[in-house]
Structure 1
């Protein structure tokens, strides 16, 4: 089975889905900011807030929700790719599945594949910390925190492991690193998955799968080693 082909098909779809969906929400914001129809004739109001603020904020929130949804699809695609390597391409398993997966499926599969592909991953050009954060953001995004908002924040466990998280607004990251102290010492930063961040994550997942594909020849050597009967020493 060509696992790389099907993973790339999924990442292409995620790019398409985000581009088409975000265009609508960005279009609403642009029309409001430039007073274009149907936002060119605001009703009379004595409020000090700008007209159509609620509609603008809804569009902004929709972009945030869309970004997290796409990261969730990407995380699931990566997990299915690893599972396909395990079950249908290479054919390996875990003696005790619960223990290695306690820290997440990315570290578990990287450890197993490292042995099979003959690498400690130091020669892999992919940002593996970003790969892991894709899954962490997906996990956080599945659980709302506040009825009044769709925003989701990073948690302390994530910040302890990744003090400068990738999926965070530049303004929050700048404020949190401007003075002494760690991110976790302040309010938890909001998860922010914009178009640039999503495409960087997609590129890293594609690059990781391509790199693994180029080393699959090592899997044949691994199969021979594990299949070779052990000769008892006299």
Structure 2
């Protein structure tokens, strides 16, 4: 089973899905801002809001929801990739799965694959912090807290673990990292998956899979090194 091929197929689809979905929302905003049909007939209003503000905001919110959906697909794709390596490609298991996964599946699989591929990951160009944030963003995005808004916000635990969150707007990052800023005094920042940050996350996952694929032969050596111990354990039984 070619785990690398199927993961790449998924990341390519996510790129396509976001790009095509975002086009429609960007087009709505463009038409409103330039008074193009069907937004060329200004409705009568006595308030000071610009015309079609609600439709413009809906298009912007839809783009942000699309980003959250894509990061969720990326997280699930990564998890399926690791599981395929575990069950069908390398074929390994966790001695105590519950304990191994206590801090999440990313640290668990990195630890297991580090042993199997004989690496401490220092030679891997991937930002493991970002990989972990993909999963945290997915988990946060799946659980809404306020029925009045589609906004997804960081919580204190996430910011304590990642003081410089990746999926955040530049304006909120500036406030978060200012000298006056603190977790106690600030409204928790919004989790935003922009096009460029989604692209960066997708690239990191692709590079990780490419790096593992280039070293997958080391798994055979790992299996061979374990055979004497397994044979001794069988004789002891």
Same fold (TM over 0.5): yes
Q: Do the aligned residues in 2 keep the contact of 1:163 with 1:182 (CA within 8 Å)?
A: no
Alignment pair present for 1:111 and 2:146: no
Specify the alignment match of 2:215 in structure 1: 215
C-alpha change, 1:98 and 1:16, in structure 2 (3 Å) is same
Report deviation, 1:8.
0.3
Q: Do the aligned residues in 1 keep the contact of 2:126 with 2:208 (CA within 8 Å)?
A: yes
Hey, what's the Cα distance between the residues in 1 that align with 2:184 and 2:214?
A: 39
Secondary structure in 1 aligned to 2:51?
Answer: coil
C-alpha change, 1:52 and 1:31, in structure 2 (3 Å) is same
Q: Do the aligned residues in 1 keep the contact of 2:175 with 2:181 (CA within 8 Å)?
A: no
Specify the alignment match of 1:81 in structure 2: 81
What RMSD, in angstroms, separates the aligned Cα atoms of the two structures?
Answer: 1.4
Specify the alignment match of 1:58 in structure 2: 58
TM-score normalised by structure 2 residue count: 0.95
Matches within 5 A, 1:1-234: 1-183=1-183, 185-229=185-229
C-alpha change, 1:226 and 1:83, in structure 2 (3 Å) is same
Hey, what's the Cα distance between the residues in 2 that align with 1:57 and 1:231?
A: 67
Report deviation, 1:184.
5.8
Hey, what's the Cα distance between the residues in 1 that align with 2:131 and 2:182?
A: 22
Hey, what's the Cα distance between the residues in 2 that align with 1:223 and 1:194?
A: 42
CA-to-aligned-CA distance 1:110-162 (integer Å, 9 cap, x gap) = 00000000111111101110000000000001100101000010111111111
Report deviation, 1:89.
0.5
Q: Do the aligned residues in 2 keep the contact of 1:168 with 1:190 (CA within 8 Å)?
A: yes
Q: Do the aligned residues in 2 keep the contact of 1:160 with 1:184 (CA within 8 Å)?
A: no
Hey, what's the Cα distance between the residues in 2 that align with 1:222 and 1:57?
A: 54
Hey, what's the Cα distance between the residues in 1 that align with 2:175 and 2:181?
A: 11
Report deviation, 1:178.
2.0
Hey, what's the Cα distance between the residues in 1 that align with 2:185 and 2:29?
A: 34
Secondary structure in 2 aligned to 1:154?
Answer: coil
Secondary structure in 2 aligned to 1:121?
Answer: coil
Structure 2: gaps spanning 5 or more residues: none
C-alpha change, 1:183 and 1:170, in structure 2 (3 Å) is farther
Report deviation, 1:36.
1.1
Structure 1: gaps spanning 5 or more residues: none
